[in-house]
Amino acid sequence: MAIKNKTKYAILGVLCLKPCSGYDIKKFCDKTISHYWSENFGHIYPVLKQLQEEHFIQPSEDKASAKRNVFQITDEGKREFVEWLMLPPEIQSPRSELMLKLSFGNYIAIEHVIAMLGEVKDRNIRNLAYYRELEGSYLTNDAAKKDPAFPYWLAPLRHGILTSEVNIRWCEETVQNIKQYAPSNLEEDAYV
Amino acid sequence: MAIKNKTKYAILGVLCLKPCSGYDIKKFCDKTISHYWSENFGHIYPVLKQLQEEHFIQPSEDKASAKRNVFQITDEGKREFVEWLMLPPEIQSPRSELMLKLSFGNYIAIEHVIAMLGEVKDRNIRNLAYYRELEGSYLTNDAAKKDPAFPYWLAPLRHGILTSEVNIRWCEETVQNIKQYAPSNLEEDAYV
DNA sequence: ATATAATATATCAGAGTGATATATTTATTT
DNA sequence: AAATAAATATATCACTCTGATATATTATAT
């Protein structure tokens, strides 16, 4: 196989936590891990079928759940998932549309670039506020702190916080640099 | 169209800088913008064909270049590119394999997680060193500083620097948290 | 009762990845 | 000068993943 199917492992992971339907899996992703992982129906359903054929998941043994198309992970599935967990994460080929656009910033009016960076900054401010709130509720929850999974749930959240903070600083710095180094590109170099 | 073809715009951008063959475009991406953008042949060649049909690019007017399958951007192509540049960058659905793995860290032995974070830290240290070197050569190059594109080339580089720094700090912090909150999950909770 | 929100699944075209194969030209070594 | 290696160049393939759309059923609120 050319490229690894990551959706497969994401689904196995979610099913380690609790039996789910395809719909439940999508909901879980959107609600709980959406700031670092996304899934969509177009992939979830075919992969669920494939996982069943591979005997990594099976219809829930609970009668009511089975009727609702709920799946549970098998022992084989758990083994497969844990094996994947221990492999070093693959380096992802980057594709930042923002950076690509920005690197051609001298092709458009400076106002456009500054507005763009303003929007990015605002989005990061909103994200940061949300993360900080989540962090607060985590750190004041003694039950959560005793869960052995606690530091593993905290880690992506902390990454979100630190990343948002740095993005905000970077936006400010970049606007300053643009104003300093390219104050009058409108007349000389811009296409528009 | 459901999803925007970004390769199209990346190619137009590169051809704004200089006429290129598909091979040249790939080389440029790998050499110059690889820390925030990647392209591959499997997409470049069909998109080049498509761009030609849309009259956004054409075979180079230079005889030698034309023989070498070099393309140049048309005025229409420039217009198309600049129009795209001014659109707000689309929000990308995140997929961090590292974060996904980490959030299930309590399913494997703590040593594995710590080793994984060590590798991530090392990679970020290497990247940071490379970025810093590049930054140094930029900032001491007076000709480069006078180029109106200067702040736009600096921006992605600065983002790489700030992001690497924060990732290094995050790795250290996360290892500490794991040791503090889950010092003995080997016996109690790990599958392996 | 009725509207509407939540649950549930299927399907599709198209974007993007990375591996592989292959042929030609140019540079380097012997 | 011949042999070899490296760079240039393109095509193709199976597969992953995205996001839109369509559609039907079951809870829940008014």
What integer best gives the mean pLDDT of chain A? 93
What pLDDT, in 10s, does the model give residues B143-174? 999 999 999 999 999 999 999 999 999 999 99
Same domain, A72 and A109: no
Query: What is d(CA A65, CA B14) in angstroms, rounded to the nearest whole number?
Result: 54
Same domain, B165 and B118: yes
Is the pLDDT score of A179 beyond 80? yes
pLDDT at B185: 46
Q: Is the pLDDT of residue B189 over 80?
A: no
Q: Is strand C less than 7 A from the beta carbon of A174?
A: no
Among the candidates B57, B86, B115, a domain finishes at B86
Residue A183 pLDDT grade (very low, low, confident, very high; cuts 50, 70, 90): low
Does any domain span residue B14?
yes
Which among A95, A103, A180 has CB closest to B153? A103
Average pLDDT over residues B29-35: 97
Domain coverage including residue A154: 97-188
| B138 band by pLDDT with thresholds 50, 70 and 90 | very high
Distance from CA of B9 to the nearest CA of A (A): 9
- Please indicate whether, in this complex, the C-beta atoms of A105 and B152 are within 8 angstroms of each other: yes
Q: Once rounded to an integer, what is the mean pLDDT over residues B21-33?
A: 97
Mean residue pLDDT across chain B? 93
Select from B26, B38, B78, B99 the residue whose CB has the most chain A CBs within 10 Å, as the one to mutate to test that interface.
B99
What would the pLDDT profile of A79-130 be if each residue is shown by its tens digit? 999 999 999 999 999 999 999 999 999 999 999 999 999 999 999 999 999 9
Q: Is residue B167 part of a domain?
A: yes
Q: Give residue-wise pLDDT tens across range A25-61.
A: 999 999 999 999 999 999 999 999 999 999 999 999 8
Chain Cα centroid distance, residue A121:
18
Regarding whether B102 and B48 lie in a shared domain, the answer is no
